[in-house]
Amino acid sequence: MDRIATLDPRWPPILTAAILETDFTVICGHRGASAQTEAYEKGLSKTPWPRSKHNKLPSLAVDLAPWYTEEPHIRWKRNSDFIDLSAVILGKALELETNVRWGGDWDQDGDMTDQTFMDIGHYELM
């Protein structure tokens, strides 16, 4: 809930609707200078501080991951589960008439194979 509180007010309705269909966790909403610099230096972000949509307050971006009740709770290598989650998140955004871009299909053409940087847990308001 603390992470959701850092998000742009358009996010909570999307996340509330989505959680009724599939379980997930909010990894990150707003990201401050040190966290953004660390993500950038580790190659987890292609955007340096303060240009990421995570760096706005409230945050225009959110990172999500499918959640499992049994450990490990997050299974980073199960790409298919992240893809399934994206269908739910993007579907709810569409229902709520909110333009959201997913980090698994940056150019929003439906083709995941043409991406130069995959960030399948990342979503951002357009």
CA torsion through residues 52, 58, 64, 67, sign: positive
Residue with tokens 């993500």: 39
The neighbouring-strand residues paired with 59 are 7
CA 114 – CA 118 distance, rounded (Å): 10
Running DSSP on this structure, what letter comes out for residue 65?
E
Average pLDDT over residues 46-63: 97
pLDDT bin (cut points 50, 70, 90) of residue 90 is very high
Pick the CATH number of 4-125 from 3.30.870.10, 3.30.450.90, 3.30.70.20, 3.30.1380.10: 3.30.1380.10
Q: Give this prediction's pTM.
A: 0.95
How do residues 61-83 score in pLDDT, each as one tens digit? Answer: 999 999 999 999 999 999 999 99
Average pLDDT over residues 44-71: 96
